[in-house]
């Protein structure tokens, strides 16, 4: 194992912006076993549950803290008609999940169940409305059904269906991936659709909906130019881009080469955030349009066996995924002034999930490596991101030391990622603009890039305390190969 020395610098007095907790948000789609068999097992299930929600999943994600949860898709959203998912479950229509395998969707998990789950875990709901096969009136009625306190037929219908209290859903996506599964629109047509739908979406029950237009696949600048030109200053609260870090191998069979190819997408993600932000700023310099990255994460090669056993897009996480999460979350900290929300895809079982369960009949629920990576970033929430420098560069062929830091009052938090499988790093980090007084650190690491938490060994990769030294305004921390570490300093 090689030993590398790395220098880093934290400018504790050079502020970037608040790290909105929303940058640590999640996404739940009706695909594979994310909802059915993951979050939702049904009230009569032998799996321990709270009102039909898998108890272990509720407990784990509540502890993690999910600021916002996006639902019901994804591609599923543009085929979803919300009326199918309300009323007595036994009477709900059975439909076909056309995007994800053509299996029968019994609609037993609908708006009421989703909002109840959000309340159980303390998340704010984010609904993605149907543009591809829906209408502006359908979205308008969904907003009224959710948010009108009383006095209208839709509010009474919600009350009759079990919730006199309005759902108070603020975030509304106007379609999903309109350049693809959402309807194969051109950017110009997508912006026209946005205007048509947004014109119908009014403030209900005193709650102004936060409307999110459909942004590009990755950093497609043509899409954003076309969309924003056609929008022509029409009001839009948020604009969502999607960026997946695709990989070529099944989740637990990665080679170092394939891992580096995947991890090297992260500098492109950072570049994409900067460029998309600039494009929005050209059209609306006061930054009243929030930039969302409402789908991101590693997307590995699926195996037919995993998908057959556990559902579409089922993906186990590994130490590689945790490192990827660390690289992504460090970017969001560093670009905190440019982002309003980021949603990892997805919360349970699907893609870069924070929990996996063993399929619809299973009783097990395991916290993945990404769960713990997110935990290591929790102390950054609501702090002010500050400038950092590293001498390792993320721009070269091999990913190198990644760092972000944030401060609030007397607490300074820094997260460091060593994405190299073949090198330990000794990091010498100078802190300017504050004097460290006390320090502690926690680490997640495993030298095996394919190490993971399984039903047999659920605690293989977990957070452990880690030594950190400080002296004369510098901290010294050893970062083993494949590690994510958070250092918390009391500063004056
Ligand atoms: O997250 C899985 C899929 O990826 C979503 O349904 C879609 O929006 C994206 O292409």
Tell the residue nearest (CA) to atom 3 of ligand 1: 74
Give pTM, 2 decimals.
0.97
The pLDDT of residue 240 is: 98
Alpha carbon of 75 to ligand 1 centroid (Å): 6
pLDDT in tens, 23-74: 999 999 999 999 999 999 999 998 999 999 999 999 999 999 999 999 999 9
Measured CA distances, 280 to 132, 231, 328 (Å): 24, 11, 21
Tell the residue nearest (CA) to atom 4 of ligand 1: 74
Tell the residue nearest (CA) to atom 2 of ligand 1: 74
Tell me, using a 6 A CB cutoff, whether residue 295 lines ligand 1: yes
Q: How large is the angle between the packed helices 319-334 and 256-263, nearest 10 degrees?
A: 20
Catalytic entry in 105, 138, 295, 442: 295
Tell the residue nearest (CA) to atom 6 of ligand 1: 74
Residue 268 sits at the vertex; the CA angle it makes with 99 and 334, to the nearest 5 degrees, is 110
Backbone torsion region of residue 301, taken as left when φ is above 0, otherwise alpha when ψ lies between -120 and 50, otherwise beta: beta
Tell me, using a 6 A CB cutoff, whether residue 216 lines ligand 1: no
Asked whether 217 and 179 are in contact (CB, 8 A), the reply is: yes
Tell me, using a 6 A CB cutoff, whether residue 176 lines ligand 1: yes
Ligand 1 atom at shortest distance from the alpha carbon of 27: 1
CB neighbourhood size of 479 (10 A)? 24
Tell me, using a 6 A CB cutoff, whether residue 394 lines ligand 1: no
Topology alike, domains 2-12+385-491 and 20-381: no
Indicate the fold that domain 20-381 takes in CATH: TIM Barrel (3.20.20)
Alpha carbon of 315 to ligand 1 centroid (Å): 14
Tell the residue nearest (CA) to atom 7 of ligand 1: 74
Alpha carbon of 351 to ligand 1 centroid (Å): 10
**Residue 295 designated active-site:** yes
pLDDT of the chain along its 492 residues, tens only?
899 999 999 999 999 999 999 999 999 999 999 999 999 999 999 899 999 999 999 999 999 999 999 999 999 999 999 999 999 999 999 999 999 999 999 999 999 999 999 999 999 999 999 999 999 999 999 999 999 999 999 999 999 999 999 999 999 999 999 999 999 999 999 999 999 999 999 899 999 999 999 999 999 999 999 999 999 999 999 999 999 999 999 999 999 999 999 999 999 999 999 999 999 999 999 999 999 999 999 999 999 998 898 999 999 999 999 999 999 999 999 999 999 999 999 999 999 999 999 744 555 899 999 999 999 999 999 999 999 999 865 546 789 999 999 999 999 999 999 999 999 999 999 999 999 999 999 999 999 999 999 988 999 999 999 999 988 889 999 999 999 999 999 999
Ligand 1 atom at shortest distance from the alpha carbon of 29: 6
Whether the link from the prior residue into 72 is cis, omega within 30° of 0, is yes
Alpha carbon of 231 to ligand 1 centroid (Å): 24
pLDDT in tens, 166-179: 999 999 999 999 99
- Domain 2-12+385-491 coded CATH 3.40.50.300: no
Ligand 1 atom at shortest distance from the alpha carbon of 244: 4
Q: Where are the domains of the chain?
A: 2-12+385-491, 20-381
The pLDDT of residue 393 is: 56
Asked whether 451 and 460 are in contact (CB, 8 A), the reply is: yes
Q: What's the rounded Cα separation, in Å, for the pair 393 and 387?
A: 15
């Amino acid at each position: 194992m090689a030993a590398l020395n790395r220098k880093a610098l934290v400018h504790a007095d050079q502020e970037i912006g608040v790290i909105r907790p929303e940058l640590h948000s999640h996404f739940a789609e009706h695909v594979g076993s994310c909802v059915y068999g993951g979050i939702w097992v049904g009230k009569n299930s032998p799996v321990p549950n709270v009102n039909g929600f898998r108890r272990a999943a509720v407990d784990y994600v509540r502890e993690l803290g999910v600021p916002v949860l996006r639902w019901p898709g994804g591609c599923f959203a543009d085929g979803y008609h919300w009326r199918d998912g309300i009323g007595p479950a036994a009477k709900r229509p059975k439909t076909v999940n056309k995007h994800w395998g053509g299996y029968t969707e019994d609609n037993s998990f609908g708006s009421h169940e989703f909002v109840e789950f959000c309340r159980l875990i303390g998340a704010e709901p984010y609904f993605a409305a149907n543009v591809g096969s829906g209408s502006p009136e359908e979205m308008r009625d969904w907003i009224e059904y959710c948010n009108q306190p009383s006095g209208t037929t839709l509010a009474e219908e919600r009350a009759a269906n079990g919730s006199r209290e309005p759902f108070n859903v603020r975030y509304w996506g106007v379609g999903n991936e309109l350049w693809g599964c959402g309807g194969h629109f051109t950017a110009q047509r997508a912006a026209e659709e946005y205007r048509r739908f947004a014109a119908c979406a009014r403030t209900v029950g005193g709650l102004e909906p936060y409307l999110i237009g459909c942004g590009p696949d990755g950093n497609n600048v043509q899409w954003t130019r076309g969309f924003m030109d056609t929008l022509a200053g029409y009001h839009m609260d948020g604009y969502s881009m999607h960026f997946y870090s695709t990989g070529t191998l099944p989740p637990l069979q990665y080679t170092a080469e394939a891992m580096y190819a995947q991890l090297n997408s992260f500098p492109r993600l950072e570049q994409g955030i900067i460029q998309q932000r600039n494009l929005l700023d050209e059209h609306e310099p006061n930054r009243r349009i929030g930039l969302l990255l409402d789908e991101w994460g590693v997307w590995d090669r699926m195996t037919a066996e995993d998908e057959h056993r556990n559902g579409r897009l089922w993906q186990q996480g590994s130490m590689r995924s945790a490192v990827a999460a660390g690289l992504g979350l460090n970017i969001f900290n560093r670009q905190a002034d440019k982002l309003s929300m980021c949603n990892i895809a997805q919360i349970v079982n699907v893609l870069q999930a924070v929990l996996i369960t063993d399929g619809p009949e299973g009783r097990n629920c395991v916290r993945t490596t990404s769960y713990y990576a997110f935990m290591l970033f929790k102390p950054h929430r609501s702090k002010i991101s500050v400038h950092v420098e590293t001498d390792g560069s993320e721009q070269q062929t091999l990913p190198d030391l990644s760092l972000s830091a944030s401060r609030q009052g007397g607490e300074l938090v820094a997260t460091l990622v060593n994405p190299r499988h073949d090198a330990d790093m000794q990091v010498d980090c100078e802190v300017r603009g504050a004097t460290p007084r006390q320090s502690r650190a926690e680490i997640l690491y495993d030298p095996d890039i394919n190490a993971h938490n399984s039903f047999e060994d659920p605690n293989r990769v977990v957070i452990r305390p880690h030594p950190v030294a400080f002296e004369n305004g510098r901290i010294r921390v050893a970062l083993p190969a494949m590690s994510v570490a958070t250092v918390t300093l009391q500063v004056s």
